[in-house]
Structures are given as structure tokens and as C-alpha cells.
């Protein structure tokens, strides 16, 4: 099977810069583990982290949604369902038939396990 392009879904916005950086870091850690598992990660958090104020939130949300639509699968960070943007991404992915897998942690083992589940679902 060819490598999958996997979208990393999870919260970006937060009440302060420290929490935004924490959200970005968490997503980047998972993206790195996806790459290490032999697949391609699309981490929108890293694409938008330094653009605050340059474009509107709506532009970022529309752009990241478009990126997600072009992916093979979506990997959702643990405890992300409080994020409205993440919920919208999950709903859209499911409507388009893009497999969605929720992480229960950020360990290399957990990411590999979820990536393997996504690969099986795509192969079926």
C-alpha cells in the first residue's frame, strides 16, 4: 500500500499564546510520529502558527478544511472534541467518507496503532 496522507486534527486556538504553542507542539509531535511510521502528515497547526492577525480565522478554517478534504485519512488528537474546528473537520471527513481515527494518547505505539487501523480501513 502507498503511504497515506494523514491530516492531524486537533485544537489550535486557545486563550493565550502558551496554550496555543502547547496545542501546536502536541500536533507536531503526532505528525512526526506519522512520518516515522512511513506516512505523510499534514499538520495545519504548523502552517498557521505564525500568521495570527495576517488573515482572519475564517480564512484559516476554510483553508485547513480544504487541506483536510484532500487527505486520505484524519487522525484526531486526544481530548479534541471541545474544539469547534475539530468537530467540524470530523463531521466533514465522515460526510466525505474519509476515515477518522481518534488517538487515546501521543505515544509512538498509539500513533502507529491508529495509523495501522486507518490503513486497514482504506485497504478494505
Q: Where are the domains of the chain?
A: 5-123
Distance CA 70, CA 7 (A): 9
Q: Given this model, what pLDDT does residue 74 score?
A: 98
Q: Tell me, what's the pLDDT at 59?
A: 87
What is the separation, in whole angstroms, between the first and last Cα of the chain? 12
Asked if residues 74 and 68 have their Cβ atoms less than 8 Å apart, the reply is yes
pLDDT of residue 50: 65
Decide: 118 and 103 in contact? Cβ < 8 Å. Answer: no
10-residue mean pLDDT profile of the chain (124 residues): values are: 94 89 94 96 84 77 93 95 91 97 92 93 89
Enter the pTM of the model. 0.93
For domain 5-123, which architecture applies? 3-Layer(aba) Sandwich (3.40)
Amino acid at each position: 500500500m502507498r503511504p497515506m496522507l494523514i491530516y492531524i486534527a486537533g485544537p489550535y486556538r486557545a486563550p493565550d499564546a502558551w496554550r496555543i504553542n502547547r496545542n501546536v507542539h502536541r500536533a507536531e509531535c503526532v505528525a512526526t510520529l506519522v512520518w516515522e511510521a512511513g506516512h505523510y502528515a499534514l499538520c495545519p497547526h504548523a502552517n498557521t502558527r505564525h500568521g495570527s492577525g495576517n488573515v482572519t480565522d475564517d480564512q484559516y478554517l476554510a483553508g485547513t478544511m480544504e487541506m483536510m478534504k484532500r487527505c486520505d485519512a484524519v487522525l484526531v488528537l486526544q481530548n479534541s472534541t471541545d474544539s469547534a474546528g475539530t468537530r467540524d473537520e470530523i463531521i466533514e471527513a465522515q460526510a466525505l467518507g474519509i476515515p477518522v481515527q481518534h488517538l487515546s494518547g501521543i505515544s509512538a505505539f498509539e500513533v502507529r496503532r491508529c495509523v495501522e487501523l486507518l490503513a486497514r480501513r482504506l485497504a478494505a
